[in-house]
Amino acid sequence: MSSTADETTIAPTTADDIGRNLTLIRDEIVDTAAKINEQELAALAAHLRQPGQVFVAGAGRSGLALRMTAMRLMHLGLSVHVAGDTTTPAIGSEDLLLVASGSGTTSGVVKSAETAAKAGARIAAFTTNAESPLAKLADVVVIIPAAQKTDHGTSVSRQYAGSLFEQVLFLATEAIFQSLWDNTDEPAEKLWLRHANLE
Domain at 163, CATH number: 3.40.50.10490
Q: What is the DSSP string of 46-90?
A: HHHTSSS-EEEEE-HHHHHHHHHHHHHHHHTT--EEETTSTT---
| pLDDT above 90: residue 153 | no
- Assigned domain for 116 exists: yes
Pick the catalytic residue from 38, 40, 114, 166.
Answer: 166
Q: Using an 8 Å Cβ cutoff, are 79 and 50 in contact? A: no
Compute the average pLDDT of residues 61-86: 97
Q: What is the mean pLDDT of residues 29-40?
A: 97
Model confidence at 2: pLDDT above 70: no
| 24: in domain | yes
Q: Provide the domain count of the chain.
A: 1
| pTM of the model as a whole | 0.92
Q: What is the mean pLDDT of residues 36-42?
A: 98
Query: Residue 103 falls within a domain, yes or no?
Result: yes
Active site residue 131: no
Segments forming the whole domain that contains residue 176: 15-192
* Residue 104: per-residue pLDDT: 96
